[in-house]
Amino acid sequence: MCGIFGYVGTKNNASDLVLEGLRILEYRGYDSWGIAQLVDGVISVTKKAGRIPDGDISFKATTIALGHTRWATHGEVTDQNAHPHLDCTQKLAIIHNGIIENYDKIKVNLKKAGHKFLSETDTEVAIHLIEKNIKAGNPFREAVRSAFNEFAGLNAIIVMDAASKTFVAAKTGSPLVVGRGKGKENLIASDAPALINYTDTFHFVEDGELLEITQDSIRAFDQKTGQEKNLHWQKVDWKFASNDKGKYPHFMLKEIHEQPTIIETIVNQSIPSIEDLAETILKSYGTYLVACGTAAYAALAGTYLFSKIARRHVNYAVGSEFGYQLDFLKKGSLVIALSQSGETIDVIDAIKKAKEKGALVYALVNVLGSTLYRMADYKILLMAGAEKAVASTKAFTAKLAYLILLSYILSSQKEKGKRVLQKALSSTNRLLQNEISNIKQIAQKLVNKKHIYVIGRGLAYPIALEAALKIKEVSYIHAEGMASGELKHGPIALVEKGTPCIAFLPDDETHGANLAGAMEMSARGADIIGISFQPHEIFDYFIRVDDAREATIIPETVAAQLLAYYLAIEKGFDPDKPRNLAKSVVVK
Ligand code: F6R
């Protein structure tokens, strides 16, 4: 949600650089965009509802510019409501992530004092309050600090001052990262990968920190007291990061195809960190998995893997529900938070509460320096590389790979765990080599369907849920995943001739019962898309997924991702940017 990019330096095409940065951040999801640039001592703004257009935009020469991609919260998606917003003098510009919960009260007072508002946003209140503080004699940094201290809610702001060519940034929520460029230039962004072309040295801005950024320096201050603080610079290894699609038409397809390499990397490089996590689990008084959306389905799969392989009970909750289930957390409990972005607010809130209860927090997270990464007591990086498509693919299968290895390590069968993942690797490679044209054809047959049902049992149940979510997200076809045993408890009432039903039928103990579910659907006229190790007479369509024991869930997922992707393509949608969705869900 809401991409941020700011440049101050000596290059005189700052607005182009900011535009390029915003394009890299498009994956976060947005509904409008804008850039403020300083020209001849006055700030001018280009901002529009909708997507950033392809091709060049002509900007005047400037050495300082600030951009934002907005995901609307306060006020509709309009040009006026897009950020940046200016003060009455047009000498200050602001961009903002979050919600200023007490904006209305502040706005009433500012209006009385004669400030003119051009948008319906809470953000605009902030810039007029800062303007008022400057008029009252405060220097710029102090004006921002004292305004920000008045805001309720979780917020991140960056303010540009024309007079001093300075950015001041403050935050209590939402990620911000600053990078030192080469020579006299400094940058700020919502995500480190946007700065990949400029630097590998970052400071991840802490909540409660205020930053002052000029072309010569970056300084940090305590937001509450104004005292100067030290910055913590970190080097980031960009080995797995890439901002382009390579030979693929979409990031989603590229990321689907990256999965074999990621699994191989996990098998070869992650064992020591997983062993460490296993030891912590063995010492804890109870383990809780917490995550949202796709990551929550990985966590749900974890409960089956722990039970089946490690013979251990593990609790599971989606982030937004965790707060209602944590009364029995105590010192010594372990919470494992799974998240691609490490910014999902419901997960962050959950671990804050867990920490208050004295629980230890382990993060399985993809983004280095993210809020979850920084808050967790211990962390494992997923090593899936930057995920750009809004719909999560490779981070999901990476989580599955970690959970499979973890379960095997917990049952003292590390080598077997590695072999099982090797099998998943072969099965996924075969699928990617041999099944794509088949999956495209199936997508063509399903393209006009209004509803798709997806069934699975045991380990394939969370995969059925994930398959349905992927289809919904990118093709906008209503898809419902369920445990196949639940069919006759209600959903089968919806089945009629031609209703598509995707059935996951791995070669495990669920096979017979699951097949029975598919047969019940078929008997009522459903078209069965069997995702299985072998064909069956009841299948109308068949996607072969070779067996990889418990890790069959990885190639099964990849088959579903490909089907979702080609459904989106058949329907003419952009699978990388599904409507209404943002990559990081940082507001409630
Ligand atoms: C679905 C999807 C979302 C995320 C969820 C959690 O494709 O991407 O459901 O999985 O918003 O996000 P992270 O993993 O970043 O915490």
Alpha helices by DSSP H, listed for 199-270, are 251-257, 259-269
Q: How confident is the model at residue 242 (pLDDT cuts 50, 70, 90)?
A: low
Question: What is the 341 CA–ligand 1 centroid distance (Å)?
Answer: 8
**What confidence tens digit (pLDDT) does each residue in 121-178 have?**
999 999 999 999 999 999 999 999 999 999 998 899 999 999 999 999 999 877 899 9
How many angstroms is it from 396 CA to the middle of ligand 1?
9
Distance CA 569, CA 41 (A): 47
Quote the pLDDT of residue 383. Answer: 87
User: What is the rounded CA–CA span in Å between residue 376 and residue 67?
Assistant: 30
What is the strand order of the sheet 64-70 is part of?
42-49, 32-39, 64-70, 3-8, 186-189, 177-180, 201-204, 234-235
Side chain identity at 76, as an amino acid letter? E
3-state helix, strand, coil in the chain (%, to 5): 40, 25, 40
Whether 1 shows a pLDDT value over 70: the answer reads no
How far is the C-alpha of 324 from the C-alpha of 318, rounded, in Å? 11
Mutational pocket test of ligand 1: of 174, 341, 576, the residue with most ligand atoms within 8 Å of the beta carbon: 341
Residues 336, 56: Cα–Cα separation, whole Å: 45
Residues 475-529 have pLDDT tens digits of 999 999 999 999 889 888 889 999 999 999 999 999 999 999 999 999 999 999 9
Q: How far is the CA of 141 from the centre of ligand 1 (A)?
A: 36
Q: pTM score, two decimals?
A: 0.78
Question: Residue 24 carries which DSSP code?
Answer: H
How many residues would you count in the chain? 588
- Between the CA of 192 and the centroid of ligand 1 the distance, in Å, is 19
Whole-angstrom distance, CA of residue 576 vs CA of residue 574: 5
Nearest ligand 1 atom to the CA of 344 is 16
pLDDT at 11 over 70: yes
Span 543-568, average pLDDT: 98
pLDDT, residue 237, reads 63
404-424 pLDDT tens trace: 999 999 999 999 999 999 999
Q: How far is the CA of 293 from the centre of ligand 1 (A)?
A: 5
Supply the pLDDT for residue 26.
81
Percent of the chain residues past pLDDT 90, beyond the cut:
80
- Average pLDDT rounded to a whole number, residues 355-366: 95
Q: What is the mean pLDDT of residues 371-386?
A: 90
Does the pLDDT at position 240 exceed 60? no
Between 370 and 499, the higher pLDDT residue: 499
The predicted model gives 372-400 an average pLDDT of 93
What is the average pLDDT across 443-447? 97
d(CA 372, CA 556): 29
Identify the weakest region by mean pLDDT among 21-30, 429-438, 461-470. Answer: 21-30
Q: Which residue has the higher pLDDT, 144 or 327?
A: 144
Nearest to 204 by CA among 218, 187, 192, 217: 192
Judged against a pLDDT cut of 80, whether residue 375 lies above it is answered with: yes
List the domain boundaries for the chain.
Answer: 3-235
Pocket residues for ligand 1 (CB within 6 Å)?
Answer: 292-295, 339-341, 344, 347, 391-392, 469, 473, 584-585
How far, in Å, CA of 361 to CA of 228, rounded? 30
Share of the chain above pLDDT 70, in %: 98
Q: How far, in Å, is the centroid of ligand 1 from the Cα of 263?
A: 19
The predicted model gives 452-472 an average pLDDT of 98
**Ligand 1, atom 5: closest residue by C-alpha:** 293
Phi, psi of 19 (to 5 degrees): -60, -45
> What is the pLDDT, as a whole number, of residue 586?
67
CB 27 within 8 A of CB 234: no
pLDDT given at position 469: 98
Q: Give me the chain's average pLDDT, please.
A: 93
pLDDT confidence of 587, banded at 50, 70, 90? Answer: low
Active-site positions? 2, 583
* Res 325: pLDDT: 85
Give the per-residue pLDDT at 119. 94
Task: Report the atom number in ligand 1 closest to the C-alpha of 585.
Answer: 11
Residue 319 CA to residue 225 CA, distance in Å, equals: 33
Tell me which of 27, 340, 382 to substitute to probe ligand 1's pocket, judged by most ligand atoms within 8 Å of the beta carbon. Answer: 340
Q: What's the average model confidence in pLDDT over 107-119?
A: 95
pLDDT of residue 50: 92
Question: From the CA of 496, how far away is ligand 1's center (Å)?
Answer: 32
**Architecture per CATH, 3-235:** 4-Layer Sandwich (3.60)
- Locate the ligand 1 atom nearest the alpha carbon of residue 372 and give its number: 16
How is residue 548 written in tokens?
């990889």
